[in-house]
Amino acid sequence: MSKLSRKAYQQQQRVSRRQKWMIIMGLLLCLCVIGLLIFQHIAGQRQQQKQFLTKHPVRGLIINQDDSYVDFTQANQDGMKYAYLRASQGASFTDDNFNDNYSRSIGSGLKIGVYHRFGFGSSIKGQEKNFVESVGNNIGDLPIEIRISYYGNYNSHNVKPKKLFNDVNEMTAYLYHKYHRPVLLKTNQRNYEILKKIPHAQFAITGKQHAKNSKFIGLSNANQIYDNGKISEYEMSAFNGNKVKWEEYLKQLKSDDLEKSNAND
């Protein structure tokens, strides 16, 4: 190889090495940028979770027979304060796991509520009878919940507002006078506007914190988390208030329950 060729070759090698280093440095810079973006995203998520947990410190589980086995004591240790258990649906369906879930939840440290899923095609008398037979005396500590959500062929276009109001009002009045406690209506914002004047009713509405008598709120999937930030495998809701308000709420429920019970003795 001539002297000139050798110099050209060495120059080419230097250029090649420089290009390789530039490529490597570029890749490292890209990785650093990506890593920084990921870190900022995770940090942002954690900050949002921290803010959410501070704003909604009282959260609970919503359980039915389609859920896997629930360790209620562990749920309490993970920061949950209550659990709502499905008892019945419509005029004939009873949750297969209700009795087992209820008996295992006692002593877990959680406050317990029971709920009925409203059946649009079932008679109100039939639904009342089904609920009472399903729960017996196992009504827990919290307001009895009626969950009102559309299914199958039932939707906001073919369910008449007046009939919905009358049916839910009748069932709410029945449960209130039988069990001496308010009834929690879990529904969407549209139905809340239809049902909000029902006496003795409280409400649980997703994202609607300032509705009249909105004692609980439904949570988006991203906000169904334990105190450690882990996503829950079960549906969750939150009490619409802090821990102090929660204790006041429980005391008021107990006081009202005793007062109504004594008045009926």
Same domain, 112 and 222: yes
Number of domains in the chain: 2
Contact predicate 186/218, CB 8 Å: yes
Residue 156 Cα distances to 113, 118, 190, angstroms? 28, 15, 9
Q: Three-state DSSP class for 87?
A: strand
Mean pLDDT of the region 41-68 = 80
Same domain, 119 and 21: no
Q: How many CB atoms lie within 10 A of CB 190?
A: 11
Mean pLDDT of the region 50-61 = 89
Contact predicate 184/215, CB 8 Å: yes
Same domain, 137 and 22: no
- What is the chain's Cα-based Rg? 28
Domain stops at, among 40, 55, 70: 55
Contact predicate 207/219, CB 8 Å: no
Same domain, 160 and 260: yes
How large a percentage of the chain has pLDDT more than 90?
66
Please say if the pLDDT value at position 45 is more than 60: no
**What pLDDT digit, counting tens, does each position of 188-200 carry?**
999 999 999 999 9
Domain stops at, among 55, 78, 95: 55
Domain of residue 34: give its range.
1-55
Rounded-to-integer distance, Cα 259 and Cα 145, Å: 21
Same domain, 100 and 152: yes
Provide the token pair at 26: 């570029």
Same domain, 73 and 16: no
Same domain, 38 and 69: no
Domain stops at, among 32, 55, 78: 55
Same domain, 50 and 130: no
* Helix, strand, coil percentages in the chain from 3-state DSSP, rounded to 5: 50, 20, 35
**What pLDDT digit, counting tens, does each position of 151-163 carry?**
999 999 999 999 9
Same domain, 13 and 139: no
Same domain, 50 and 82: no
**What pLDDT digit, counting tens, does each position of 218-245 carry?**
888 888 999 988 999 999 999 999 999 9
Q: Which of 181, 180, 203, 178 is closest to 193 using CA atoms?
A: 203
**b/e map of 129-166 (b: 16 or more CB within 10 Å)?**
ebbbebbeebbbebbbbbbbebeeeeeeeeeeeeebbe
CATH number at residue 148: 3.20.20.80
Same domain, 126 and 40: no
pTM assigned to the model: 0.81
Same domain, 127 and 226: yes
